[in-house]
Amino acid sequence: MAIVIRPASDLASVQRMVAMHWTPNHPVGRPDDPMARFYLMTPWVDRMVFPAGISVLIAWEDDTLLGFSCVQVTPIAAWHVIWTVTPEARGKGVGRALLLAMREEVQPKPLWVFGISKAGMPHYEATGFQTTVALRWQLKPQGVYMPLSSAAPLDPAWVRYRFDEHPIFKYQRNGETMIREDLLTESSFHLPTASVLHVAHLGADWPMALGGAAETYDLVQTWAYKNPGYSWIVPPATMPTVFHPPQARGNTLGVAGWPMLPPEIHAEDGMQGRWT
């Protein structure tokens, strides 16, 4: 098989590929959804590598699509957000070729990924990525709020892009801590509606920033490698992690990084589920 890997030339074709070969109705695959540009056309995409400004590599054999790899480029790293191979091309080395090509193209930035499938993890491990798991943590009401570890700093330009200028969701800055509220009209909390607070970035100031939040919301959650402080617990496995529709998907997610792991984990908006 003669595999040719080249950058994407237009966003519409990438969206059609995502809609056909990735998660059905994923935000990146919807033509009317600004999330595709938000993910794949950030200001930090290197146009010497991706001339169209789209951080996507596509594998072809002649005119036949074999697979594609998509990253979101930030000031300090590239996050692998979509990586797939067509059913006909599986088992032929296409996925690994795409992974290695993307790793090469985004240098000197590291390549990071959060939320790895069981099928994908062996490829990361076999190609030299460091791997680990992240845990979901729930803040208990009426607890002792005290940090156990310090948070990694965020790049100011990335904070503006990722949180202040987000095209869909509204985030609130509470000091170093970034939060987003959800009101669920379809919930797994045995309530007609449920309120959830996503802590997108858990700053070192979280005890003050989240003061009283656990009593106000039905769920306050964040993702981290280890317990971020007193009164954070791993919730029951039945607690939903993707909310529209609510489903329980466990409290662990695979993480990988090359040449090193990301210092901190933030759940991506697409993962949180807007597939209604």
Q: How confident is the model over 154-174, as pLDDT tens digits?
A: 889 999 999 999 998 899 998
User: How far is residue 125 from each of residues 89, 99, 100, 253, measured CA to CA in Å?
Assistant: 21, 12, 12, 15
User: What band does 25 get if pLDDT is binned at 50, 70 and 90?
Assistant: confident
Residue whose token pair is 């509204």: 170
Residue (of 187, 48, 163) closest to 106 by Cα position:
48
- Domains in the chain (CATH in brackets) are 4-109 (3.40.630.30), 136-252+265-271 (no CATH)
User: What band does 275 get if pLDDT is binned at 50, 70 and 90?
Assistant: very low
CA atoms within 13 A on the CB side of 40: 32
What span, in angstroms and rounded, lies between the C-alpha atoms of 100 and 267?
24
pTM score, two decimals? 0.91
Residue whose token pair is 């991706």: 50
Is pLDDT above 70 for 83?
yes
Which tens digits make up the pLDDT trace of 215-258? 999 899 999 999 999 999 999 888 876 655 667 778 888 999 99
**pLDDT, mean of residues 138-165:** 87
Residue (of 273, 195, 257) closest to 25 by Cα position:
273
Is pLDDT above 50 for 208?
yes
Q: Write down the pLDDT at residue 269.
A: 54
Share of the chain above pLDDT 70, in %: 92
What residues have CB less than 8 Å from 158, skipping those under 6 apart?
Answer: 74, 75, 76
**pLDDT, mean of residues 97-123:** 93
